[in-house]
Structure 1
Amino acid sequence: MADKQTIWAKWMAGELSPEELSTLEQHPEFEEHRRIIQGMQRFQKPAFDKEALRAKIIQHRGAKVHSKPKSPKVVSLKWWGYVGAAAAAFALLFGLLFNEVQYSTAPGETLVVELPDGSQVQLNSNSSLSRKGFLWNSSKEVALEGEAYFKIQKGDGFMVQANSGIVGVLGTEFNIKDRGAAMEVACFEGKVRFNSRDGRHESYLTKGMLVRLEGDQFKEGTFSKDSPDWMQGRSVFNTIPLGEVLVELEAQFGIRFEVNNADISQKFTGSFAHQNVDIALQTVLVPMGIPYQLDPDKKVVILGQ
């Protein structure tokens, strides 16, 4: 069968075969689309009787035959206006059916998103989530950049597309972090499947299991926490490259680092709180022996001598 957009377009144009129409009527979104189409009938060109209109014009001219001649009026039916309205209506409908809904957070901001099936996603700072505006039941798929905690309702397959990999679930709670340098998935309830984009790594995670993909390195591990640290207002790291920690500092506080000659490849173990940028920088950089300067606007941090 053709792709979804083609099928819906053929249906609205009345070009489906009886077999295709019968199949489409079984689609879970069919009734919703049918109601939308019915509600847009007001855009159709109104019917009129051309002969009655002609007779009325002739009668009007006859009544004025003894009057002083006037410049004839031009009666414009403006049929193109109705065609334009109908075209605009269908364009609007296609926009509604196939557009994307996007959610995003700024540095230092979090957001709880409820999806159409009742699933919830809590976005960490400087993160974004997108999904289809319609056809949700036929494609429960979201795209994530940044970090988010998912509480997914049980049912048909749910999928999260991230830059470094894909996570498929059936009903569970899990956290995904993918800010470019590395991707980490932690399962808090249920079961999830992780696949790397290059197809080299696949892993099934149950409660208390995590995977981390950093370049060519793929690691599996365990944890005992009940929720992600960032939901408690902290970022925690265990033997993580300092460069990745700096990316998280940027996400939480909206700052930018100028590295200069500082070594950001060394590993960091520790944490920082999300409430105060000065304390966070001291917590991370002082133990690593890296001198730094924060500009008066607290937007740029210069590392090294």
Structure 2
Amino acid sequence: MDKETLILKWLNNDLNDQELQAFKNLEDYDDLVKLNTNLQAFKAPEYDANNELKSVLSTIKSTKEKKTHWIKPFMRVAAILAICFSLYYYTTTIDTTFTTEMAQKTSFELPDASSVSLNAQSELVFNKSSWKNNREVELKGEAFFKVAKGSSFNVITETGTVTVYGTQFNVKQRDNYFEVICYEGLVGVTFQSQETKLKPGDSFLIIDGKKIAKLKENAPAPSWLSNESEFKSLPYRQVIAEFERQYNVDITLVGIDSNELFTGNFTHDSIDVALKSITLPLQLTYSKSNDTIILKRE
């Protein structure tokens, strides 16, 4: 571990036994401890003009060698501390970002131990250091949240804000598509300055800026967690966009109305099986060439 990291962890009181021993072995250890103690205990002294004059005259009479003896170590320690304070400020203000690429999913925990599953081509951002005072996450894409008991935070998207009251829910924010499904507990969805409360099984769906009514959700969790995408009376273009995300391919429609409603699902584990699932119900044919797929009406 490099010197700067050791000093930063020391300032944060975050050294383990092995790291503490390594820190004590630094050549600047005594100077660092002394300077840190002086900084913490620093306060303005009472001003005495006579004593200050004597002190200045005494300093002027000091030899050049003596000046060099204490100035160089002090400047070296001051430079190290300046670097450490800069690193500390940087690490406490930088955001934590989780991203997924095409055909990729990931799971992680928020600072309050709430778990998040991130679907393909998605991004979630939060600030760990300011979490206690600013409990917000920014989401682009789709994520399933399983909130720790007693926790609450806001999920910020381009279309609306989801307020968590302790629950399990799914948020999907894509181009001209915004959907929130509550699976457990209670969530509030704020859209155009109006909040809608969702109970288990309730959904909130906006497509092309319009609110769409949906039937109750009976599943215990979103299907994509089990590597399957499910659609209920959604425009076919939404099916194609999700297929492209899950398989990292480009799909071209020939003679097909992309606004045609589709109900069905496709697996994330086999592209051939998935293609049959999204073409047979609509009597479509397909052809593949590398990462490009063409769908046609029979």
TM > 0.5 between the two?
yes
Counterpart AA for 1:256: D
Percent identical? 27
Aligned to 1:4: none
Residues 181, 244 of structure 1: 8 Å contact kept: no
Aligned to 2:293: 301
Does 1:284 pair with 2:260? no
Deviation at 1:206, TM superposition (A): 0.8
Deviation at 1:108, TM superposition (A): 2.9
Using the TM superposition, name which of 153-162 and 237-246 deviates more. 153-162
1:104-126, Cα deviation, whole Å (9 max, x unpaired)? 22333322211111111111222
**Which residue, out of 161, 171, 189, partners 2:156?**
161
**Which residue, out of 124, 129, 134, partners 1:134?**
129
Residues 209, 220 of structure 1: 8 Å contact kept: no
The correspondence of residues 168-247 of structure 1 with structure 2, limited to 5 A, is 168-196=163-191, 198-199=192-193, 201-221=194-214, 222-247=216-241
Residues 292, 303 of structure 1: 8 Å contact kept: yes
Segments of 5+ residues of structure 2 without an aligned counterpart are: 1-8, 16-28, 39-57
Residues 111, 128 of structure 2: 8 Å contact kept: no
- SS of residue matched to 2:232: strand
Aligned to 1:269: 263
- SS of residue matched to 2:187: strand
Residues 182, 200 of structure 2: 8 Å contact kept: yes
1:223-282, Cα deviation, whole Å (9 max, x unpaired)? 111111112221111111111111111111111223455421211111111111122122
- SS of residue matched to 1:172: strand
- The structure where helix makes up a greater share of residues is 2
Using the TM superposition, name which of 218-227 and 112-121 deviates more. 218-227
Aligned to 2:25: none
Counterpart AA for 1:172: T
Counterpart AA for 2:84: A
Aligned to 1:36: 12
**Counterparts of 1:44 and 1:290 in 2: how far apart (Å)?**
77
1:139-192, Cα deviation, whole Å (9 max, x unpaired)? 221111221111112335311012221100121111111222311111111110
**Counterparts of 2:275 and 2:32 in 1: how far apart (Å)?**
61
- SS of residue matched to 1:171: strand
Counterpart AA for 1:257: I
**Counterparts of 1:126 and 1:155 in 2: how far apart (Å)?**
30
**Which residue, out of 237, 243, 246, partners 1:249?**
243
- SS of residue matched to 1:183: strand
Deviation at 1:55, TM superposition (A): 5.1
Deviation at 1:92, TM superposition (A): 1.3
**Counterparts of 1:258 and 1:80 in 2: how far apart (Å)?**
65
**Counterparts of 1:57 and 1:279 in 2: how far apart (Å)?**
82
**Counterparts of 2:225 and 2:169 in 1: how far apart (Å)?**
13
1:121-142, Cα deviation, whole Å (9 max, x unpaired)? 1112222211103111112211
1:25-79, Cα deviation, whole Å (9 max, x unpaired)? xxxxxxxx996399999399799xx96x955949xxxxxxxxxxxxxx9x98387
Counterpart AA for 1:248: E
Residues 115, 147 of structure 2: 8 Å contact kept: yes
**Counterparts of 1:43 and 1:258 in 2: how far apart (Å)?**
66
CA RMSD of aligned residues (A): 3.5
Counterpart AA for 2:233: T
**Counterparts of 1:213 and 1:245 in 2: how far apart (Å)?**
16
Does 1:90 pair with 2:82? no
**Counterparts of 1:148 and 1:159 in 2: how far apart (Å)?**
13
Residues 249, 292 of structure 2: 8 Å contact kept: yes
Counterpart AA for 1:270: G
Segments of 5+ residues of structure 1 without an aligned counterpart are: 1-32, 59-72
Counterpart AA for 2:12: I
Does 1:116 pair with 2:116? no
Alignment: residue pair count: 252
**Counterparts of 1:262 and 1:135 in 2: how far apart (Å)?**
49
